[in-house]
Structure 1
Amino acid sequence: MKIVSFNANGLRSAANKGFLEWLPGLDADFVCIQETKAQEHQLRVPELLPPGYTAFFRDASTKKGYSGVGIYTRREPDEVITGLGWEPFDEEGRWLELRFGKLSVVSMYFPSGSSGDERQNFKFACMDWILPIFDAYLASGRDVVICGDWNIVHTRKDIRNWTSNQKNSGCLPQERAWLDLLFHDRGWVDSYRHLRPDGEDYTWWSQRGAARAKNVGWRIDYQVVTPSLRPRLKSCAIFPEPRFSDHAPYLVEYE
């Protein structure tokens, strides 16, 4: 089983740069997209529906052309879940879950706080609210893969400029401590870090200051899995080239 996670920074924009023509080469079973930046009727058109896949989307109802998540799947799901029960999060189009028996594949776009205090406080509120939900998923016995842009780096190896970003959203001590709770206390597994304990790869680069050319990046795109899937993690790859977005697609192969 192969799963791709990709923040497209506008799915139509990424498609115009060749993403959907490039995608078949990965032979993925699921492709989880974040930041579709469109309403569903704008995405459910032939040029954005790759052959062999069924598409599901959850767009933002609060602001058109904002946020939004999607999943391309080769299998028909048993159930589709488009929210977690809290309107401020759900209506921004941040959660899409497909269920196949006891397997859940999720595309999640976690809020960023980089635009200012109001959004950072919303991000903190989301962290507090969603933690018990993650606990419930662990307790359910389901095999869960949460793909997405989490907008938080975890360790020094996940960001080029560690020291200078300690006061910036995405690298704040409170945010990283929250990932400690998930990975160390709760037992959720960061697939990349499990497969590459010493890896220093990035999935996002600022569009300013030639950051990508200099590889001044952040690893904020994850596939986070339940402990039950840890033994099935086989390999992973990040694709910084070709450039379809300010993020790179992240592929994980599961046995």
Structure 2
Amino acid sequence: MRVITLNVNGIRAAVGKGLYAWLPSQDADVICLQETKAQLGALPARYRTLPGYALYGCDAERKGYSGVAIFTRLPPREVRCGIGWEEADREGRYLQIDLGPVRVASVYVPSGSAGPERQEAKYRFLDAFLAFLRRLRGDGHEYILCGDWNIAHRPIDLANWRGNQRNSGFLPEERVWLDRVFDELGFVDAFRVVNREPGQYTWWSNRGRAWEKNVGWRIDYQIVTPGLRGRVRAAAIYREQRFSDHAPLIMDYDLEVPG
């Protein structure tokens, strides 16, 4: 089973940069997208159509903002939009499909980089989301939680960690929150199961030739329940083309899901 996640930073922009021309070559079963910045149902068909896949979306109420989506070629038993917390659900930050043996979600954690008000909103989301994740761990299902979590966990996960310790995305409180996700709740950073190398980033600033120099952050994850740790087979970050300020994270799992 192959799962791809990508923050597209605007679905129309990413399609214009060739995303839908590239995706069929990847033979993915599930494709999770974040920051679609669209009311998906109102888009022209070329932005909503990928042959062989069904599209599900969870839009923000505010036009041109946030939003998550999933393309799947496996028919879901159930689709869930939101975590049951109004502030997050108005912003379209969580979409989940039930595929039977596994549930796959597209997650978009808020950024706090715009200033103190947005950082406080991020902390509120993290509190609510941790409670939601705790409920997931208790429901007996396996999960692959894909998306832009907007936190680099450890110094290995960003190029300039010393200079970013007071910046949103690498604040001590945010990193401790991820510690709780992994250590207290038992979730697993699937990428690090198979790749422990430095220099593995998924987001680059548009300033200072960061992409060219690989001065980036690893803030996009596939975070899985512990029962899937032994099912992780391969991981890759695709950088040959640039569809967004993020790169696609491609992961393979030893899972058979009936079509």
Check whether TM > 0.5. Answer: yes
Query: How far apart, CA to CA, are the structure 1 residues paired with 2:197 and 2:47?
Result: 39
Structure-to-structure mapping, 1:1-255, within 5 angstroms: 1-43=1-43, 45-61=45-61, 63-255=62-254
Instruction: Encode CA deviations 1:80-125: one digit per residue, 9 max, x unaligned.
Output: 1001111110010101000122421100100000001111001111
Take 1:236 and 1:208, find their aligned partners in 2: how far apart are those partners?
Answer: 27
Question: In 2, Cα distance between the equivalents of 1:35 and 1:182?
Answer: 23
Alignment TM-score, normalising by the size of structure 1: 0.97
CA–CA separation in structure 2 for the residues paired with 1:43 and 1:254: 32
**Aligned residue in 1 for 2:257:** none
**Structure 1 residues 179-188 or 162-171, which shifts more?**
179-188
Deviates more, 1:35-44 or 1:140-149: 35-44
Which blocks of at least 5 consecutive residues in structure 2 are unaligned? 255-259
The one-letter code of the counterpart of 2:168 is: S
Query: TM-score scaled by structure 2?
Result: 0.96
Within 2, Cα distance between the matches of 1:94 and 1:186?
21
| Partner Cα distance (1:216, 1:246) in 2 | 12
- Percentage of pairs with the same residue: 50
C-alpha distance in structure 1 between counterparts of 2:20 and 2:50, whole Å:
7
What secondary structure, in the 3-state scheme, does the structure 2 residue paired with 1:119 have? helix
Separation in 2, partners of 1:59, 1:115 = 21
2:116 counterpart letter in structure 1:
D
User: Which stretch shifts more, 123-132 or 213-222?
Assistant: 123-132
Aligned length: 254
Gaps of 5+ in 1: none
Shift of 1:139: 1.3
Q: CA RMSD in A?
A: 1.1
Distance (whole Å) between structure 2 residues aligned to residue 244 and residue 182 of structure 1? 29
**Once the 2 structures are TM-superposed, how far is the Cα of residue 198 of structure 1 from its aligned partner?**
3.2
State the AA in 1 paired with 2:236: A
SS in 2 for 1:72: strand
Please say if residues 11 and 47 of structure 2, whose CA atoms lie closer than 8 Å, have aligned partners that are also in contact.
Answer: no
Seen in structure 2, the aligned counterparts of structure 1 residues 44 and 139 have a Cα distance that, compared at 3 Å, is farther
Residue identity in the other structure for 2:60: A
Work out whether residues 20 and 48 of structure 1, in 8 Å CA contact, stay in contact via their aligned partners in 2. Answer: no
